[in-house]
A and B are shown apart, each in its own frame.
Chain A
Amino acid sequence: MSKFLIFLILFSARISLGAITLWPAVYSLRTDRDEFQNTQFQSAQQFSLALQIQSWSLEFGRTEFDSSSEEGNIFIKEKYEDSILWLGYHFKLLEELDLVTSGGIGTYQEKITTTVGLISNRSESEQEMLTGIAGELRWKPFDLGFLLSSGIRVLMAENFDPNPQPEFFVRAGWMF
C-alpha cells in the first residue's frame, strides 16, 4: 500500500514538474557473507522508477534476490526483498554526464523456507529498516532519452552481515 502511495505521488507530480526515468535493465552485485564467513557476491533483480526536477531526483527502487544453503536432507532457501526511496542530487560534469549522489531510506524483508526431508516450513521477518548512500555516473548520449549508468551503493541495517553492505550496479534506462 505504501509503495502504491509513493508511485501515485510521483506520477501526479510528473504531470506538472520534471522527468520520469524508468530503469528496467539493471545488473547488480551485492556483497554478502556465506556460512563459512567467506565474502560472496549476490546477483540481484532490481527495478527503479525516478522523478527528476532540475538537479534533484527522487527514486523508488526495489531489489530481490534468492540464496540457498544445503547439507544432507536440509535445504534452506532465503528470499530477500527491499524497497528504498533515494533522494539524489545531480552534479553536471559534462553536457551528457552527471554525477549523482544519493541518500536513501527504506525497508527490507527476508523470507525463509526450511525443508528437511519431506517436511517444510516457511517463516518471514518483519519489515526492517535500512539506509544507504550511493554514488553514480550517469550518461545520457545525444539527448535521446536513453540513459546508461554505473555506480556503487552502500547499504546499512542493524542485522546485515557484513554491515555496511556494498553493492555495485550497471543499468540502462529511459527518461520520459
Chain B
Amino acid sequence: MPSVLTHLFLCFLVAAMSTGCQKTPEAWNSSKPFKTQIVVGSATGLQFQIVELEGVQNQKTLEGEVVEFYLAPGEQNSELVGPHAVAKFIQNSEGVFIPTNSLSLQMVSLYYHMQALKKLEIQSLGKTFVKWPRKIGLQVKTNSAETRFNNAFYNNKLDVMFFVPYVDQELPLPLNGGIIAHEHFHSYFSYSILQKSLASDVLPIEDYFLKSINEGLADVWGWIYSDNPDFISLSLPDLAGPRKLEQPSFFRKPVLKTKKDMESDLNLVEQECKRLSWCNSADQLTLGLAYSNGTALARTLKDFLTRQNLTQEDKAKKIFLLLEQLNSLNLKKELDFESLLVEWAGLFDSLSDESCKILKNAIKTEEIKNQICLSF
C-alpha cells in the first residue's frame, strides 16, 4: 500500500509539473517601458496599436510620470479626493499587457495620449508648461443633467481633467486623442491666461471673450494633435456639424464677432435667462455661444495654419506664441476677435497670399481687414 501511495504521489507531482512547464514572458518592472495595446481613432478609422508607456511606476494604477488616475473622485476643501483607478491586464507571450476591461483600456489610451502631449509640449517650448503628472478623473459623477454623460471637462480650480461615463455607441471620449488634447489645452489656457484674469475683476464681456478663445484654441490644439479636423464626431456625432473644423468654401465668410456683436449677445442672453425658469445665471447660456464663437475662430486658424505648411511641432509653437500674445493684451481695451487676429498674424514671419485672404475673409470691419498683411 505505501508503494501505491508513493506511486500516486509521484503521479501527482508529474501532473503538476507538466502543466507548469510553459514559456513565460519576462516579468515587468518600473525601469522598463510598459508595453500595452490601445485603440487609436483617426479620420480613416479605428485600429489597434501596441505602444510603450514610459515612466509607469505601478502596473495596477498606472501611476507614473505622466498621469495619476482617480475613479469617480470628488472635491473636499478644494482638494481632489477619491480612490485611484485600478487597471487589470493579461500579459501575452510577447510581454504585451492587454487590458481586460473597458476602464483599463481607457487608462492606457489616456496615458499614451498624455505622454505624446507632454512630448509635444517639451518639443515646442524646450521645457514643461504645466505640472506633471496630470490628474485625471474617470467615471466622474456630476449633478448637472447636461454634463452627466458623454462629456469631458477641465476643472481649473483643481487642475484636473474629468471624464464622465460615456453612454453613446461611438468611441468613448477617453479613447479620443483629439478630445483629450482639447481638454488638456484648457490647462494651458488656465496656467497662462486665467490665473491673471482671475486675479482681477473680470467683466462679463471679458469672461465671454476669454471662454470663446479658450474653446476655439482648444479645438485647434485637438486638430494639431490628432491631425483630424473632425475628431469630435468620432465620439459625439451630433456635434459634427457645429464643431467640425473643415468648412466648405461657400461657408467662408466674415465669421468673427466684433465687440459690439458680443455686447449684443450678452444682452440677449440676459433677457433669455430671465425668461427661462431653469436659468439661474446668464453664464449658463453664454457658454453655448462661446462654443460657437470658438468654432468660428478655430476654423479660421485651422485654414490659416494649414496654408502655412507647418509641421505639428511648429503649429504647436505658434499656438503657444498666440497664448503669450493674448497674455500681454489689455483686455479692457483690446476686446475684439478681429483685432486679436491682426495681432496674431503679426507673429508670423511671412504670410502667403492665400493665408492673408483667409484672415481677411474672416473679418467684417473694413479698416481692421485692411491691416492684415500690410507688411507683406
Residues of A within 8 A of B (CB): 1-3, 5-6, 9-10, 13, 17, 34-37, 53, 56, 58, 60, 69-74, 76, 78, 83, 85, 87, 105-107, 110, 112, 114, 116-119, 121, 123-129, 161
Shortest distance in angstroms between B104's beta carbon and chain A's nearest beta carbon? Answer: 7
Q: Tell which of A9, A76, A126 touches B23, judged by Cβ atoms closer than 8 Å.
A: A126
Report the Cα distance A128→B11, complex, angstroms: 21
Q: Which of chain B's residues has its CB closest to A70's CB? A: B102
The prevalent SS among residues of B at the interface is mixed
Give, as a whole number of angstroms, the nearest-CB distance from A77 to chain B: 10
Flag if A37 contacts B86 (CB, 8 Å). yes
Q: When A9-B11, A116-B39, A116-B46 are in contact, do A74 and B19 touch as well, CB less than 8 Å? A: no
In the complex with contacts A35-B101, A58-B8, A126-B22, A72-B37 CB distance below 8 A = no
Q: Is the CB of A126 within 8 A of B24?
A: yes
Footprint of A on B, CB under 8 Å?
A: 4-5, 7-9, 11-12, 14-16, 18-20, 22-25, 37, 39, 45-48, 60, 71-72, 83, 86, 88, 90-93, 96, 98-106, 139, 165-172, 175, 235
B88 to A106, Cβ gap below 8 A?
Answer: no
The minimal Cβ–Cβ distance linking B72 to chain A, given in whole angstroms, is 8
The answer to whether A3 touches B19, judged by C-beta atoms less than 8 angstroms apart, is: yes
With a cutoff of 8 Å between Cβ atoms, the chain B residues found around residue A124 in the complex are: 90, 92
Determine whether the beta carbon of B100 is less than 8 Å from that of A110: yes
- With a CB–CB cut-off of 8 A, which chain B residues contact A114? 37, 39, 48, 98-99, 105
Cβ contact within 8 Å between B100 and A58: no
Cα-based distance from A118 to B169 in the complex (angstroms): 12
Q: Looking at B8, B12, B86, B139, which has the most chain A CB atoms within 10 Å of its CB?
A: B8
Report if A126-B102 is in contact (Cβ < 8 Å); known contacts: A53-B8, A72-B170. no
Apart from the given pairs A74-B175, A114-B105, A123-B37, 5 other A-B contacts in the complex at a CB distance below 8 Å:
A36-B72, A69-B101, A110-B100, A123-B96, A124-B92
B12 touches A85 (CB 8 A): yes
CA distance A1 to B19 in the complex (A): 9
From the candidates B12, B98, B170, name the one contacting A73 in the complex (CB within 8 A): B170
Across the interface, do B172 and A71 meet the contact criterion of CB distance under 8 Å? yes
What DSSP secondary structure best describes chain A's contact surface?
A: strand
Contacting residues, chain A, for B104 (C-beta < 8 A): 35
Residues of A within 8 A of B101 (CB): 34-35, 69, 76, 78
B19 touches A125 (CB 8 A): no
Residue of B nearest to A161 (CB): B88
A95 to chain B: closest CB distance in Å?
23
Is the beta-carbon distance between A76 and B90 smaller than 8 angstroms? no
Would you call A127 and B46 a contact (CB within 8 A)?
Answer: no
A13 and B8 contact, Cβ closer than 8 Å, known pairs A36-B71, A69-B102, A71-B166: yes
> Does B19 contact A76, Cβ atoms closer than 8 Å?
no
Least Cβ distance of B235 to chain A in Å? 8
Given A110-B90, A125-B92, A119 contacting B20 (CB threshold 8 A)? no
B71 touches A37 (CB 8 A): yes
Which residues of chain B are near A117, meaning CB under 8 Å?
A: 45-46, 170-171
Query: In whole angstroms, what is the CA distance A126 to B89 when docked?
Result: 12
Decide if B93 touches A126 in the complex (CB within 8 Å).
yes
Q: Say whether B37 contacts A9, CB under 8 Å.
A: no
